[in-house]
Amino acid sequence: MHADLWIALLSGIAVAASCGLRAFLPLLLLGIASRAGLVHLRGGMDWLAGDIALTALAIATVIEVVGDKVPVVDHALDAVGTVLRPVAAWLGAYGMLVTWPTPWAQLTAIVLGTLALAVHGLRSSVRVGSTVTTLGTANPVLSLVDDAIVLLLMAAAIFGAIAVLLAIPVFFWLRGRRRATVAPGTSAPLSPAS
């Protein structure tokens, strides 16, 4: 597999996992990143960077993020999220799989949608446990943790590809320097005396 396919897959995984925590924030961040030229989305997904999509996603994000911090509303959002989060993950992951050919991009995005469902299930069980043990008082704190994780995963998805692309030449340069200082047929570096 070529490096660009791996980078796209890792970005898709990060987007899908973040969609398991929030349905709309990852798509909003993808749309903004696409509009800013930080990521190139797969053909047909450019609508995420349009004015209407960004406005709708911003409103939905505010409702989801704020509502998740309100007891009872957070559980209602989780129930709706069981359907929305895998769909959002499919859309986001598909958009990131730019270098993947058809039908592999579509199939991989479907698999990543199930990853979001698994993350959502884990999150929901933690939230129910928190509700039972703390009567819901810890749920807003857990919601803030979810927000932070989504932001970190999306930063990895958007900027991680750039970091990996920049790290590849540095890796080969360092590897070449190490080989140049190792004596042929040994694994020890050349000493100044030899």
Residue stretches of the chain with pLDDT short of 70 = 1, 161-171, 174-194
Q: Cα(11)–Cα(79) distance, rounded to whole angstroms? A: 26
Q: Cα(56)–Cα(145) distance, rounded to whole angstroms? A: 24
- Residue 182 phi/psi, 5-degree rounding, is -100, 130
| Domain spans, the chain | 3-180
pLDDT at residue 136, rounded to an integer: 85
Judge whether 164 and 153 are in contact, CB under 8 Å. no
Three-class secondary structure of residue 189 per DSSP: strand
pLDDT at residue 67, rounded to an integer: 95
Cβ-based burial of 34 (10 A; exposed 0-12, middle 13-18, buried ≥19):
buried
pLDDT at residue 161, rounded to an integer: 60
**Per-residue pLDDT reduced to its tens digit, 34-51:** 999 999 999 899 999 999
Listed residue (60, 2, 19) closest to 154, CA to CA: 19
pLDDT at residue 194, rounded to an integer: 46
**Per-residue pLDDT reduced to its tens digit, 119-152:** 999 999 998 898 899 988 999 999 999 999 999 9
Q: Cα(82)–Cα(23) distance, rounded to whole angstroms? A: 10
